[in-house]
Structure 1
Amino acid sequence: MEEFLEVLRFNAKELKIQFEKSSIEGKSTSQEVSDFREQAVQQFVRRYYPFPYQISKGGIYDSYGTRSDSIDCLILNPNHPHTVNHAGKHSLIIADGLDVAIEVKPDVANRQELYRGLVQGISVKKLRRRNSPLLVKSNHPEYIQELSRQIPFFIFSMKSKNNINDTIQEIKAYYEEHKVPIVDQIDALIINDKGILVNFKYQELYPFNTTRLTTEEQAGWFFEEWGADTLGGFLFHLDRVFGASSQINDTFLKYYVLSKKIPTRSV
């Protein structure tokens, strides 16, 4: 739907301006700059995940005693307990009430910033929901059921290396060097105005036309060239994750943003 994408293109311009303004508003204090940028992403996500969803930040706990690193933007499912303290912040965030974790890393061209995001992602992926949100578990292989008990993890960025392949190779090299299993890797890296690097961990999760792809080619890393419509792609992938609770009705945002063919290549 072109009108919806036009709104999102405007949102993308607003977001870019907010990131640029943060250096002034933050008075050159790095923490304040980070806070303003996190809030800008939170505000965008809140527009498309309004109440009864809640948008928060912080560390995440699971019922097995594991805690993640602090994450910048968390989409809390409507079933999440109202653990808001007197300051209006969530004092406790639990894995079983969390739909998605999003870390804001403005410049993943900076290798150290990129790697910090990957480490934070690993800490989130170590968490486990108590139950799978899949309605009919017998329809899904055990590895998909297990994947659905993990928290989806995205990195949101404004800048990558000029050649996206260089950023992709840095990610792959990090995971290979540290022997990070595929289930503990990020699900997507969003680069505003450029595209989305997606990690389709199993072929069952590949959403596009598979006519020209083998079963093996439907899994792995893909770069989707959304360009100016990258925020639309962001919503598309948010709409497809395994949330914290079972869905009786199909979600709908993905149908509004996938109105044209997006150039996609395996990497």
Structure 2
Amino acid sequence: MSAVEIKLQFRRIANALAAAAEVAAGTGHAGTTGRMREMLVQQFLRPHLPRNIKVRSGVIVDSAGAKSKQQDCVLVDTRLPLVDVGSSTDALLLAESVVATIEVKSFLSAQELKTTIESISQTTRLTRNGMQVYRKGPVEMRLPKPNSILTYIFAYNGASFESLSQTIAIASYEKNDGGIAPDAVCLLKKGVLLRSQLMPVVDGSNVHLPSLAETKLTAQPLDKDALLAFYHRLIDDVMPLRMENIDLDGYFSHGDLE
């Protein structure tokens, strides 16, 4: 399949997502509509992810007892464990097993973004034990202290990129933490907002190291290809990562067994 064919197919998928989201509005109940729109994003993701990554929803916990808020979409490495809760979609998720989270919004206003950033901040503070391996092209990095869980936002519509960028910048300044900025924001019919990557960018045989001095946000207005741009960034971030030598003793303390 050529690049042009892929682009056209993603436009069809984006149009189908937008149409299905509009149909979901017919429930007349905001909570039900929101849940249906989350499921639409999950249905889009499942066939487009590598086989070792599955989509779940639920709460993420770490070995220190901290936990995230309820997450709409969680990308989980299937080679690592989770705790079953009797559902095919929801689970109690161990921080080491989680690669990324995606918050799904019907309309991403500046106020909604502030609330989402609070949730992101809670997720990125979770402790992960083990070694994180990044492997892409000629680059291999082994991080004895893993980076935070990757975080993304997908919205069917939203405020202007200028407004959203300003909201993220203010929140990062107030918390003195550029890490709370989402890795990417997709507004389905408007474009994407991309955060500067924390890992090396590989372009053929060239490797560009990230700037750790500051977090940059780049807006790309795209009324037709926002979904493809978002997917490309997501896969580019997620595929090179895996956790090794994880230590799960903190979750299963023998001293507390009865």
Question: Scaled by the length of structure 1, what TM-score is found?
Answer: 0.76
Report the residue type matching 2:190 in the other structure. K
For the residue of structure 2 that corresponds to 1:241, the secondary structure is helix
What does the per-residue CA deviation read over 1:138-178, in whole Å, with 9 as the maximum and x for residues that have no partner?
97597xx65x43100001112222x42122112212332x3
Q: Do structure 1's residue 174 and structure 2's residue 171 form an aligned pair?
A: yes
1:79-118 equivalent positions in 2, closer than 5 A: 79-81=79-81, 83-108=83-108, 110-118=109-117
Q: Distance in 1 between matches of 2:220 and 2:214?
A: 13
1:157-196 equivalent positions in 2, closer than 5 A: 157-161=155-159, 163-176=160-173, 178-196=174-192
> Counterpart in 1 of 2:217?
221
Displacement of 1:44: 0.6
Task: Answer yes or no: is the 8 Å Cα contact 1:206–1:219 preserved in 2.
Answer: no
Q: Which runs of 5+ in 1 are unaligned?
A: 248-267
1:102-251 equivalent positions in 2, closer than 5 A: 102-108=102-108, 110-134=109-133, 146=145, 148-161=146-159, 163-176=160-173, 178-200=174-196, 202=198, 205=200, 220-241=216-237, 245=242
Task: Answer yes or no: is the 8 Å Cα contact 2:121–2:180 preserved in 1.
Answer: yes
Task: Answer yes or no: is the 8 Å Cα contact 1:83–1:90 preserved in 2.
Answer: no
For the residue of structure 2 that corresponds to 1:127, the secondary structure is coil
Could you say which structure has the higher strand fraction?
Answer: 2
Q: Which runs of 5+ in 2 are unaligned?
A: 245-258
1:30-45 equivalent positions in 2, closer than 5 A: 30-45=30-45
> Counterpart in 1 of 2:11?
9
Pick which of 14-23 and 233-242 moved more.
Answer: 233-242
Question: Scaled by the length of structure 2, what TM-score is found?
Answer: 0.78
What does the per-residue CA deviation read over 1:77-126, in whole Å, with 9 as the maximum and x for residues that have no partner?
12132533334344311111112100012211x22211111111111111
What does the per-residue CA deviation read over 1:18-49, in whole Å, with 9 as the maximum and x for residues that have no partner?
1111111xx21221111101001111111202
The verdict on how the C-alpha distance between 1:87 and 1:242 changes in structure 2, with shifts beyond 3 A counting, is closer
Q: Distance in 2 between matches of 1:41 and 1:12?
A: 10
Task: Answer yes or no: is the 8 Å Cα contact 1:206–1:218 preserved in 2.
Answer: no
For the residue of structure 1 that corresponds to 2:225, the secondary structure is helix
For the residue of structure 2 that corresponds to 1:150, the secondary structure is coil
The verdict on how the C-alpha distance between 1:227 and 1:131 changes in structure 2, with shifts beyond 3 A counting, is farther
Displacement of 1:53: 2.8
Displacement of 1:218: 9.1
The alignment's C-alpha RMSD in Å is 3.1
**Sequence identity of aligned pairs in percent?**
21
Q: Distance in 2 between matches of 1:69 and 1:228?
A: 32
The verdict on how the C-alpha distance between 1:129 and 1:18 changes in structure 2, with shifts beyond 3 A counting, is same
